[in-house]
């Protein structure tokens, strides 16, 4: 979600937050459950589910790529060992 969306929720009193900073870069900490509830109220449950689904697919694709790379490395190592 964009910063503007979150700030709007804070101003409306729907979101609890804390201000923090890392290495001089400020950011807002909000509760995920409150943010998800605000997203559902303003944009609908389909929007939230679409975002969650896309995030899960990205995570799965990344894991598949890592496993494929590892499998290739293991096969090459096996071939080297068997080859002598």
Condensed to tens digits (0 to 9), the pLDDT of residues 48-73 reads 999 999 999 999 999 999 999 999 99
Q: How confident is the model at residue 2 (pLDDT cuts 50, 70, 90)?
A: confident
- The answer to whether residue 1 scores a pLDDT higher than 90 is no
- Looking at the structure, tell me whether residues 32 and 6 fall in a common domain: yes
**What local confidence, expressed as pLDDT, does residue 70 receive?**
98
CB-CB contact of 12 with 41 (8 Å): no
Helix (H) or strand (E) holding 26: strand 25-30
Whole-prediction pTM: 0.67
Count up the domains in the chain and report the number.
2
For residue 21, give its domain range.
Answer: 1-43
Mean pLDDT of 24-32: 92
- Shared domain for 39 and 53, answered yes or no, is no
Query: 29 and 7 share a domain?
Result: yes
């Amino acid at each position: 979600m964009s910063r503007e969306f979150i700030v709007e929720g804070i101003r409306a009193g729907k979101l609890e937050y804390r201000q923090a900073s890392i290495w001089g870069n400020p950011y807002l900490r909000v509760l995920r459950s409150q943010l998800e509830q605000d997203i559902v109220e303003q944009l609908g449950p389909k929007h939230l589910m679409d975002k969650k689904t896309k995030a899960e697919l990205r995570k799965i694709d990344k894991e598949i790529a890592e496993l494929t790379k590892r499998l290739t490395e293991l096969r090459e190592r096996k071939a080297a060992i068997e080859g002598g």
